[in-house]
Amino acid sequence: MLGSIAAPTLSSTKPVRVLVVEGQALFAKALCQVLAGDPEIDVVGDSDSMVNAPLRRLRPDLIVLDLDGHHVEFSEAMRTCREHAPQAKVCVLSTHVQPEVMQRCLSAGADGYVVKDILPAELIRAVKSIASGHAYVDPRVAGGVLKRRSNGFGRAAQNELSVRETEIIRLIARGMSNKEISAKLHLSEKTVKNHISRIFAKLNITARTQAAVHAIKTGLA
């Protein structure tokens, strides 16, 4: 499953510096407590908004950004982040399961999208994955993306993948397993695995979550 990612071992011996940006104080403290329980994560603080966060002083490696309950547009929050903490990756936390909301966040520069009912252990895995340079999206949302975006990127992505590979990456983005893809396309599981290996090599990725994000960002899904 796309959401069942293994917690990566971070290459650096230094813990990931995480800043929580959450409008509700109680939920912010709960998030900090969950994340601080992992020895590879250093929670450097929390703030009620990106505007009020001391980004330059804290220099976080990753920001867990609540999408809900803010008056500031997400694109504006991302501009603030890129201006004051260009080194930071952003993991969006939201109640929205709508694919179009996730697409908007990814297009604005977010590195991950997590729905708030995620288990604490899975949140930690998502944060570590994003901190390691891998994208993460909730598979329930990625699986709901059935429409192409009309921004022109779909054609470019198709040019680097074969017709069969394009079919397979779309099915991966819908959350289908190799066995389900095999049945859908009337291929052996071994053939599906070979196609996926070639997809990963062409796109320079290593995980199904990354394939899903690529499909969503480029309009293939």
Tell me the per-residue pLDDT of 43-61, one tens digit each, with 9 for 90 and over. Answer: 999 999 888 999 999 999 9
CB 27 within 8 Å of CB 35? no
Residue 111 belongs to domain spanning = 16-139
Straight-line distance from the first to the last Cα atom of the chain, in angstroms, rounded to the nearest whole number: 17
Q: Which residue has the higher pLDDT, 216 or 184?
A: 184
Confidence bin at 93 (pLDDT 50/70/90)? very high
Same domain, 131 and 54: yes
Q: Residue 7 falls within a domain, yes or no?
A: no
Contacts of 149 (CB under 8 A, 6+ apart): 103, 219
| Number of domains within the chain | 2
145, part of any domain = no
122 and 76 share one domain:
yes
Q: What is the mean pLDDT of the chain?
A: 82
User: What is the domain-level CATH number for residue 33?
Assistant: 3.40.50.2300
Domain C-terminal end among 83, 111, 139: 139
Predicted local confidence at residue 20, as pLDDT: 96
Read off the pTM. 0.64
Q: Are residues 62 and 84 in the same domain?
A: yes
